[in-house]
Amino acid sequence: MKTAEIMANLQAKHPGENEYLQAVQEVLESIEEVYNQHPEFEKAKIVERMVEPDRIFTFRVTWVDDKGDVQTNLGYRIQFNSAIGPYKGGLRFHKAVVPSMLKFLGFEQTFKNALTTLPMGGAKGGSDFDPVGKSNDEIMRFCQAFMTELWNCIGPDQDIPAGDVGVGGREIGYMYGMYKKLAREYNTGVLTGKGATWGGSILRPEATGFGALYFTEHLLKKAGKDIKDKTVALSGFGNVAWGAATKAKELGAKVVAISGPDGVCEIPDGITDEMIDYMLDMRASNRNKVEDMATKFPGKAKFTAGKKAWSVKCDIALPCAFQNELSEDDAKELKANGCWCCCEVSNMGCQPGAIHFFQHNGVLFAPGKAVNAGGVATSGLEMTQNASHISWSAKEVDDKLHFIMESIHEQCVKYGTQPDGTIDYVKGANIAGFMKVATAMLEQGII
Ligand code: 2IT
């Protein structure tokens, strides 16, 4: 395999799909050496097959807003790879959603799911529907309209969507209600992230953030460090940031910044439990403004418009918002301010230049597909509970999540340890995920 050649072909075939091409490039670069030691992979054209989704569903979603006006959006489901299990991955509702974004997310999901130790293939979906400023009724009508098209493409042993940016427990509830009405079956396992009283797993809402902090703990331990009393800057204030802030505080770290598309909130004395609870209200309001935190807690949280969380002095940076949210310049600013660790919690949160800078300037770095895999892993645990018609206690789920995050860290160490003894977590995660998916594809023949 020659990465440059494959990338040139993909670029010609999918011009302008920059996020997708970026995600593929990162993986191919890391696996090239290992791949070339396996002529059987080359013979079966594993890479050429793996970089293309199995199929893409595109559909029109029409709904009526509160003013009575008819609105039309586009909906998608990308079933990327089913070598190791049924398609699994979230739905993203965001105005910037285009096929390239969902293809990058589906591609990443395939490797991430392979790392979880659970049998799940990769998928992603969503819509260019913009939840910002929408009423609860509008959200419900949109979710129902979206599901009238999607329901035929999914199933508990076929494709199991969940939440992502813009899709949380409320949206999953509305979509599940409509799914049930259309399918006339109580297939709880068809969606994950459900409410705890109707099939949802305890700790699923917290799982992405909690898992990210468990991974961070392992990474720090391996580097002879500890999270206690360290300052943490994180971006976003949605579900993932909320879970990360909760666990970081619980482990004794001080969360000194959260951010939003409007700017950053500095919290010099560290985030409080009341502030963490208020993040849920901020998300539910659909205002998408982090400034609301400063308005609610004057004197404790200071808002600066137009600035990112990466401008705040910290030990550990946790991108928890959106792809490419941390640039090379941000990485330099973080390092100049004393930051020595960045665990990417968002999918592809760091631009390639930022990752390169971290890795060559002594900043510990781990990629999203390893760090944030606790979310989808707990979705996998939700599927197991649904399939066996039981529900586990918080302790049972948390113990399993701990085990999974430790195992992901071990896989990164196994495949990412360099001759000089340092660990390249990007390589480690990519090679570990790739080997599992590639081996399964090989064993299942040319399909
Ligand atoms: O990016 C992700 O891993 C998710 N949005 C969660 C997917 C899932 O199926 O729980």
416-421: average pLDDT: 96
pLDDT(1) > 90: no
Atom of ligand 1 nearest to the CA of 347: 1
124 has catalytic annotation: yes
- Say if ligand 1 is within 6 A of residue 90 CB: yes
- Say if ligand 1 is within 6 A of residue 379 CB: yes
pLDDT(413) > 80: yes
**pLDDT tens digits, one per residue of 16-49:** 999 999 999 999 999 999 999 999 999 999 999 9
What is the domain partition of the chain in residue ranges? 3-185, 205-366
- Say if ligand 1 is within 6 A of residue 113 CB: no
Say which CATH class 3-185 falls into.
alpha beta
CA 42–ligand 1 middle distance (angstroms): 30
What is the residue with the minimal CA distance to atom 10 of ligand 1?
Answer: 376
Place of tokens 């974004």: 101
393-398: average pLDDT: 98
Task: Choose which CATH entry (3.30.310.220, 3.40.640.10, 3.40.50.720, 3.40.50.300) describes domain 205-366.
Answer: 3.40.50.720
Q: Quote the mean pLDDT of the chain.
A: 98
Choose one of 164, 167, 171 to mutate for the ligand 1 pocket test, by most ligand atoms within 8 angstroms of C-beta: 164
315-324: average pLDDT: 98
Calpha distance 121→359 (Å, rounded): 30
CA 315–ligand 1 middle distance (angstroms): 27
Question: What integer pLDDT is reported at residue 381 of this predicted model?
Answer: 98
Atom of ligand 1 nearest to the CA of 88: 9
- Say if ligand 1 is within 6 A of residue 374 CB: no
Task: State the burial class of residue 240 (Cβ atoms within 10 Å of its Cβ: 0-12, 13-18, 19+).
Answer: buried
41-63: average pLDDT: 97
Question: What integer pLDDT is reported at residue 442 of this predicted model?
Answer: 98
Q: Provide, rounded to the nearest whole percent, the portion of the chain with pLDDT above 90.
A: 100
Calpha distance 26→37 (Å, rounded): 19
351-367: average pLDDT: 98
**pLDDT tens digits, one per residue of 132-155:** 999 999 999 999 999 999 999 999
**pLDDT tens digits, one per residue of 283-294:** 999 999 999 999
Q: What is the 3-state secondary structure (H, E, C) of the chain?
A: CCHHHHHHHHHHHCCCCHHHHHHHHHHHHHHHHHHCCCHHHHHCCHHHHHCCCCEEEEEEEEEECCCCCEEEEEEEEEEEECCCCCEEEEEEECCCCCHHHHHHHHHHHHHHHHHCCCCCEEEEEEECCCCCCCCHHHHHHHHHHHHHHHHHHCECCCEEEECECCECHHHHHHHHHHHHHHHCCCCHHHCCCCCHHHCCCCCHHHHHHHHHHHHHHHHHHHCCCCCCCCEEEECCCCHHHHHHHHHHHHCCCEEEEEEECCEEEECCCCCCHHHHHHHHHHHHCCCCCCHHHHHHCCCCCEEEECCCHHHCCCCEEECCCCCCCECHHHHHHHHHCCCCEEECCCCCCECHHHHHHHHHCCCEEECHHHHCHHHHHHHHHHHHHHHCCCCCCHHHHHHHHHHHHHHHHHHHHHHHECCCCCECHHHHHHHHHHHHHHHHHHHCCCC
CB 286 within 8 Å of CB 132: yes
Grade residue 96 by pLDDT with cuts at 50, 70 and 90.
Answer: very high
Grade residue 440 by pLDDT with cuts at 50, 70 and 90.
Answer: very high
- Say if ligand 1 is within 6 A of residue 121 CB: no
- Say if ligand 1 is within 6 A of residue 347 CB: yes
Place of tokens 């068809």: 190
Choose one of 175, 206, 372, 405 to mutate for the ligand 1 pocket test, by most ligand atoms within 8 angstroms of C-beta: 372
Whether the CA torsion 15, 21, 22, 26 is positive or negative: it is: negative
**pLDDT tens digits, one per residue of 62-76:** 999 999 999 999 999
- Say if ligand 1 is within 6 A of residue 376 CB: yes
Calpha distance 303→293 (Å, rounded): 8
- Say if ligand 1 is within 6 A of residue 162 CB: yes
Name the active-site residue from 124, 230, 247, 369: 124
Atom of ligand 1 nearest to the CA of 105: 1
- Say if ligand 1 is within 6 A of residue 375 CB: yes
Name the residue type at position 378.
Answer: T
Structure tokens at 408: 């992901």
Atom of ligand 1 nearest to the CA of 164: 5
Q: Is the pTM of this model over 0.95?
A: yes
Calpha distance 117→86 (Å, rounded): 14
Calpha distance 354→317 (Å, rounded): 12
CA 304–ligand 1 middle distance (angstroms): 31
Q: How crowded is the C-beta side of 98, counted as CA atoms within 13 Å?
A: 8
425-429: average pLDDT: 98
**pLDDT tens digits, one per residue of 304-313:** 999 999 999 9
What is the residue with the minimal CA distance to atom 3 of ligand 1?
Answer: 376
CA 352–ligand 1 middle distance (angstroms): 22
315-342: average pLDDT: 98
**pLDDT tens digits, one per residue of 203-254:** 999 999 999 999 999 999 999 999 999 999 999 999 999 999 999 999 999 9
1 or 61, higher pLDDT: 61
Atom of ligand 1 nearest to the CA of 112: 3
CB 328 within 8 Å of CB 356: yes
CA 164–ligand 1 middle distance (angstroms): 6
- Say if ligand 1 is within 6 A of residue 89 CB: yes
pLDDT(404) > 80: yes
Question: What integer pLDDT is reported at residue 56 of this predicted model?
Answer: 98
Same fold, 3-185 and 205-366: yes
Question: What integer pLDDT is reported at residue 438 of this predicted model?
Answer: 98
What is the residue with the minimal CA distance to atom 4 of ligand 1?
Answer: 90
